Structure formats: C-alpha cells, structure tokens
C-alpha cells in the first residue's frame, strides 16, 4: 500500500496538470469505489466544481474544490493520473472512477484490486478525523512523540502502523526507521528508553523525508502520476532484503518475520 512518501509524490505530480480545471462529468462502473456520499449524490455535487488545490492528509490525497473536498485513498493498487480524453494507457483497463475535465482531459482512478476509495465532503474530519499527527509537521516534536508513547504496551512495529497513533507510516518505512534506530520491531513501546525514543523519532522523520526525495517506492503497483517509477526501493537498508547481508553492520543477514500480520524485516545483530 502506498505510504506517506508515495502519496505525497502523487500529490505533487498532480498539481500542475489538475489545479484550475473544472470537473464537467463523472463516470464509474464500480459503485463500491464511492465511499461517501452515495454515488448518485456524489455525481450531482462534484460536477461543476473547480480544483483550487491539492494536498495530503496521512495516506489520503485531498483535492480541494471550490465547495467540497475530493479525497482519494489508493489502498493497494490505486493509480491516480490526468490524461487526455482520447489517450489510451495500459492501466486504463482498471479504471473504475473517472472525472471529465475541461480542456478535453480526464482524472482517472485505476485500481485493479478495487480496494481504493473516493470521498466527497465539506468537512475533512468526516474521513480523517481519527487519524494521528503528521510526522513531518513542525508541531510533531520529540516531546509529542514521547507523550504519545507513554503507557503504550503495544509492540512498537504494530504501533507505528497504527494510523491513529501516527499518520502515513506503513510497513516499508516502519521497518526502515526501526532498523536505523537500532530497535527490534518486537520491542514493546513502553520498553523504549528516552534515548531510543529520540532515535526513533529522528529516523521516522528521516526515512519519510528520504522517501519523498526519491519519489516513493515502486515495488509493486505504485507509480508516479506520469507513469514513471519512484526510486526509494534502491535505498532501503532492510525492506525486501531478507537473506542479504546487512548494509549497516555487515555481520548478519537480514531476517524476515511476521508482526501484526505484516512481513517485517530487521537485522538480528543491529536490532537485538
């Protein structure tokens, strides 16, 4: 599933081709993709609105319209891109929601697994109200991180994946952050020392920032809006490297286990 860096990259890639365009029509063939409101009401409300901005909240793409907010969650296989009305692309065969734009363009939502969702609301809290703080915001300080960890007995890898605890971190960047902080993913949150909390805070922010710099990880389905790959996968220390020598210590091989039903990568020497 695309995480914060991938979603942020999509947001940045959509600004130039989308902002300023007016939605003239809507088409869908999979009603379950429409999460809020009902599909018929959705179409009636969104047509005629103009895109005035695009931003991200957690793993949601937030398209600001002149009256409402159009939110898209890519889930596992979602792709969101702008194309010429008559252009044909390989991923078009999985398009289940499409917005016709002025200037003979279309905003297409391709999703082969059909897990992705689109929302239309005038209050973002209707969709994202329960999500935790943004880890790259200036207001997310070490003190805030430490306070949120206080009294938590949950396994630290599971806690990092909890979107109510912190926004946007997923399996890839949790593994990378824990490795760089030299913390075993099965440690309980309340066992971390003050020094380890500071290290983890720093590495969470660092791996997310690096992920954005490298424009996301194209491991499976994720692609940038122009169809090209991100390059974060070329810079991983542990994720997807099980069985290979640790790049940090060179003394052990990366192992893979399952935590919170997710494949988890770590170095048994660096992360004891």
- Asked whether residue 260 is domain-assigned, the answer is yes
d(CA 96, CA 112): 9
How many independent structural domains does the chain possess? 2
- As given in the structure block, the two tokens for residue 224 are 């940038």
Characterise 149 by phi-psi region: left (phi > 0), alpha (psi -120 to 50), beta (else). alpha
Beta bridge partners of 53: 64
Are 214 and 249 in the same domain? Answer: yes
Q: What is the pLDDT of residues 48-76, one digit of tens each?
A: 999 999 999 999 999 999 999 999 999 99
- Asked whether residue 271 is domain-assigned, the answer is no
- Asked whether residue 135 is domain-assigned, the answer is no
Last residue of a domain, one of 101, 128, 155: 128
d(CA 16, CA 107): 13
Are 155 and 122 in the same domain? Answer: no
Cα atoms found within 13 Å of the Cα of residue 181, Cβ hemisphere only = 28
- As given in the structure block, the two tokens for residue 261 are 């039903």
Q: What share of the chain is helix, strand, coil (3-state, %, to 5)?
A: 30, 25, 45
Please give the pLDDT value at position 192: 97
Cα atoms found within 13 Å of the Cα of residue 81, Cβ hemisphere only = 22
How many angstroms separate the most distant Cα atoms in the chain? 61
- What integer best gives the mean pLDDT of the chain? 96
Beta bridge partners of 65: 51
Q: Supply the CATH number for residue 118's domain.
A: 3.20.190.10
pLDDT > 90? residue 253: yes
Beta bridge partners of 80: 109
d(CA 24, CA 99): 7
- As given in the structure block, the two tokens for residue 45 are 């409300």
- Asked whether residue 136 is domain-assigned, the answer is no
CB 238 within 8 A of CB 265: yes
Angle, to 10 degrees, between the axis of helix 194-213 and the axis of helix 171-180? 130
Q: What is the pLDDT of residues 137-158, one digit of tens each?
A: 999 999 999 999 999 999 999 9
Q: What is the average pLDDT across 88-117?
A: 96
What are the catalytic residues?
2-3, 59, 262
- Which parts of the chain are beta strand (E)? 23-28, 34-36, 51-57, 60-65, 69-73, 78-84, 95-101, 105-111, 117-121, 255-259, 262-266
pTM for this model (two decimals): 0.95
Instruction: Kindly state the DSSP code that residue 93 receives in the 8-state scheme.
Output: G
Last residue of a domain, one of 128, 159, 182: 128
Residues 6 or more apart whose Cβ sits within 8 Å of residue 105: 17, 21, 82, 83, 84, 85
d(CA 234, CA 215): 11
- Asked whether residue 134 is domain-assigned, the answer is no
Angle, to 10 degrees, between the axis of helix 142-149 and the axis of helix 194-213? 120
Q: What is the pLDDT of residues 108-119, one digit of tens each?
A: 999 999 999 999
Q: Which of 267, 264, 263 is nearest to 254 (CA)?
A: 267
Please give the pLDDT value at position 220: 83
Last residue of a domain, one of 128, 159, 176: 128
Count of other CB atoms within 10 angstroms of residue 261: 8
Range of the domain at 52: 4-128
Are 108 and 155 in the same domain? Answer: no
* 261: confidence class by pLDDT, cuts 50, 70, 90: confident
């Amino acid at each position: 599933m695309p995480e914060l860096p991938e979603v942020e990259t999509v947001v940045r890639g959509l600004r130039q081709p989308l902002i300023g365009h007016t939605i003239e029509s809507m088409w869908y063939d999979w009603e379950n993709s429409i999460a809020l409101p009902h599909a018929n009401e959705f179409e009636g409300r969104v047509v005629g609105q103009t895109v005035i901005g695009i931003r991200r909240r957690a793993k949601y793409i937030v398209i600001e319209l002149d009256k409402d907010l159009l939110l898209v969650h890519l889930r596992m296989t979602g792709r969101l891109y702008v194309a010429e009305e008559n252009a044909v692309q390989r991923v078009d065969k999985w398009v289940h929601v499409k917005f016709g734009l002025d200037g003979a363009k279309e905003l297409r939502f391709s999703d082969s697994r059909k897990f992705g969702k689109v929302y239309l609301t005038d209050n973002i809290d209707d969709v994202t109200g329960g999500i935790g703080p943004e880890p790259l915001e200036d207001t997310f300080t070490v003190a805030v991180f430490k306070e949120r960890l206080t009294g938590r007995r949950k396994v630290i890898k599971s806690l990092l994946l909890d979107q109510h605890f912190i926004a946007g971190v997923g399996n890839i960047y949790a593994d990378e952050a824990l490795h760089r902080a030299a913390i075993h993913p099965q440690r309980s949150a309340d066992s971390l020392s003050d020094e380890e909390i500071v290290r983890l805070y720093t590495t969470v922010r660092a791996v997310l920032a690096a992920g954005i710099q490298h424009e996301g990880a194209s491991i499976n389905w994720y692609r940038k809006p122009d169809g090209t790959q991100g390059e974060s996968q070329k810079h991983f220390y542990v994720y997807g490297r099980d069985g290979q020598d640790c790049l940090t210590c060179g003394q052990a091989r990366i192992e893979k286990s399952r935590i919170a039903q997710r494949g988890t990568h770590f170095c048994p020497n660096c992360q004891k």
